[in-house]
Amino acid sequence: MRLDVVSIFPEYLAPLDLSLIGKARREGLIDLKVHDLRDFAHDKHRTVDDSPYGGGAGMVMKPGPWSEALEHVLAQEDSPSGDEPRKVPTLIIPGPGGEPFTQQIARELADEPWLAFACGRYEGIDERVYEWAGERMPVRVLSLGDYVLNGGEVAVLAMVEAVARLLPGVIGNAESLVEESHEDGLLEYPVYTKPAEWDGRAVPDVLLGGNHRAIADWRHEQRVQRTAERRPDLLPPTAAASALSDLEERVATPADAPDLQVLTRACWAPEFARYGMFGAGEEDLETVRDGIQEWDTRVWRKDGQLLASVRVRSHPTQEATWQIGRLMVAPYLQGRGLGRELLGYAESLASEGVRTFWLNTGAKSTENLRMYKKAGYKVRPGEGEFPGTVDLTKRQVTTSLPE
Ligand SMILES: C[S@@+](CC[C@H](N)C(=O)[O-])C[C@H]1O[C@@H](n2cnc3c(N)ncnc32)[C@H](O)[C@@H]1O
């Protein structure tokens, strides 16, 4: 990723030479350049500010140096070849009056090849610069929070760090990004390390037992509880009713086949529609019943209604591999984190000795792919087990025993 930062205090960005971001720069994962706005002022004092029209306290950043500095950034594009359109960065202008910067925005920005940042100072930048820049590149005004800083540099440090750590290869262990706060609307659960007892305070027993299902349940409860206590604004009104623990879980029997057939159809229809194959992917009841025999299929119901299901088994041909399939949530409950919970649960069912989790999804199933990648899965190269699909795998993380 390429990053250009314009500031009157280039030295302020020096921390971006340190730690993981500094390492990513040295390894060429990030190409970051800092430009001094004063290089684009032409008077003896390299002036970049002036008094505000209409009066009032403070100074305003002049438009001229900003347009020149941003032209300079734009001109650094590798010369476009043939009919290719000119590549431009997305320009981020930090400001307390901007859209709140969130993990979701960090993810969006991490998908961009080129970002530029304009660090304001004083009372801010002449408003016409926003207009001028918007005619040349996408512009986003982003706020770090509801308070006022002296300049945009601190905001840029925070934003660059939040974005850059999402780039492949920047964080050594990508799994550590998976369950973090704000990734799926909940805060992270409390974490502990050795020793198991410190200062008369013990680590919760459940974490010492090695029971993955119990640990996953405890962590989920802690996430919901912590979010409710500290950030109730993050909880959707229906969150309590959409947790798996609110539903009744059972191992599926052949009697579940008709409902499973309907749920599969409801979940698959939009997937097949992406391929223009409307109504495709129907499974007859016998095939559904066979599936129930061949897999460990779990179903979740509320008031008798089938709302979610997933099935698991040891992969028939791949050694030490846990196959997860048919992860399904009733369409009206989708988008609330239930799928993610199901996935964690399916992993927790893995038998002893499993080293890899395996699943398969449509190559165009963007929401599924996004969820699986967030959960640490990687797409295997080439076509998946079925035409138009991809296989994904994830290494099983072994839990070390406490001291
Ligand atoms: C003193 S502030 C200007 C505040 C401006 N007069 C206002 O009231 O909205 C100077 C610069 O600091 C940066 N800044 C201040 N607070 C910020 C925040 N919460 N998020 C992002 N940038 C901020 C912006 O670059 C802004 O132009």
Q: What percentage of the chain's residues is helix, strand, coil (to nearest 5)?
A: 35, 20, 40
Q: Is there a domain that residue 203 lies in? A: yes
Could you give the count of Cα atoms lying within 13 Å of 104 in the half-sphere of its Cβ? 5
Is the same domain home to 218 and 250?
Answer: no
Is the same domain home to 198 and 286?
Answer: no
pLDDT at 27: 94
Site to probe by mutation for ligand 1, drawn from 149, 153, 156, 157 as the one with most ligand atoms within 8 Å of Cβ, is 149
Give distance in angstroms: CA of 359 to centre of ligand 1: 46
Q: Work out the percent of the chain whose per-residue pLDDT is above 90.
A: 67
Pairing of strands 378-379, 389-395: antiparallel
Q: Is there a domain that residue 310 lies in? A: yes
Atom number in ligand 1 closest to CA 97: 9
Q: What is the CATH number of the domain that holds 45?
A: 3.40.1280.10
- Nearest alpha carbon, ligand 1 atom 23: 95
Cα–Cα nearest to 107, from 31, 183, 186: 183
Is the same domain home to 52 and 7?
Answer: yes
Q: Look at the chain and report how many structural domains it folds into.
A: 3
- Nearest alpha carbon, ligand 1 atom 2: 150
Is the same domain home to 156 and 11?
Answer: yes
Read off the DSSP letter of residue 279: T
Is the same domain home to 103 and 193?
Answer: no
Per mean pLDDT, which of 166-175, 180-189, 343-352 is the most reliable? 343-352
Q: How far apart are CA 109 and CA 90, in angstroms?
A: 9
Is the same domain home to 6 and 140?
Answer: yes
Q: How far apart are CA 165 and CA 24, in angstroms?
A: 9
Is the same domain home to 223 and 358?
Answer: no
In the numeric block, the tokens 């971001």 are attached to 21
Written as one string, the DSSP assignment of 340-360 is HHHHHHHHHTPPTT--EEEEE
Is the same domain home to 204 and 288?
Answer: no
Q: Is there a domain that residue 27 lies in? A: yes
201, 230, 259 - which closes a domain: 230
Is the same domain home to 384 and 248?
Answer: yes
Cβ pair 144, 93 in contact under 8 A:
no
pLDDT at 55: 94
Check residues 399 and 146 and name the one with the higher pLDDT: 146
pTM of the model: 0.63
132, 164, 196 - which closes a domain: 164
Give distance in angstroms: CA of 60 to centre of ligand 1: 12
Assign 96 a pLDDT band (cuts: 50, 70, 90).
very high
The CA-based angle 131-158-220, given to 5 degrees, is 120
What is the average pLDDT across 133-140?
Answer: 95
- Nearest alpha carbon, ligand 1 atom 12: 151
Written as one string, the DSSP assignment of 204-222 is PGGGGS--HHHHHHHHHHH
Q: Is there a domain that residue 133 lies in? A: yes
Is the same domain home to 63 and 197?
Answer: no
- Residues with Cβ within 6 A of ligand 1? 94-97, 119-121, 123-124, 143-145, 147-152, 155
Cα–Cα nearest to 337, from 301, 370, 304: 370
Residues 6+ away with beta carbon under 8 Å from 217? 245
- Nearest alpha carbon, ligand 1 atom 1: 150
Q: How far apart are CA 149 and CA 146, in angstroms?
A: 10
Give distance in angstroms: CA of 95 to centre of ligand 1: 4
Q: Is there a domain that residue 175 lies in? A: no
pLDDT at 277: 65
Residue 241 pLDDT more than 50? no
Burial class of residue 338 (count of CB atoms within 10 Å of its CB; 0-12, 13-18, 19+):
buried
Of the listed ranges 186-195, 224-233, 318-327, the least confidently predicted one is 224-233
- Total count of residues recorded for the chain: 403
Residue 240 pLDDT more than 60? no
What is the average pLDDT across 137-155?
Answer: 96
Is the same domain home to 112 and 67?
Answer: yes
Cα–Cα nearest to 241, from 298, 300, 190: 300
Q: What is the CATH number of the domain that holds 196?
A: 1.10.1270.20
| Enclosing domain of residue 386 | 244-395
Give distance in angstroms: CA of 1 to centre of ligand 1: 26
pLDDT at 333: 82
pLDDT at 286: 93
What phi and psi values does residue 149 have, to the nearest 5 degrees?
A: -100, 170
Q: Is there a domain that residue 174 lies in? A: no
Q: How far apart are CA 376 and CA 394, in angstroms?
A: 6
What is the average pLDDT across 230-259?
Answer: 78
Is the same domain home to 285 and 252?
Answer: yes
What is the average pLDDT across 309-315?
Answer: 96
Helix (H, G, I), strand (E, B) or coil at 241: helix
Q: Is there a domain that residue 302 lies in? A: yes
Atom number in ligand 1 closest to CA 93: 25
Atom number in ligand 1 closest to CA 145: 19
Give distance in angstroms: CA of 61 to centre of ligand 1: 12
pLDDT in tens, 177-187: 666 777 777 88
Cβ pair 199, 184 in contact under 8 A:
no
Atom number in ligand 1 closest to CA 148: 16
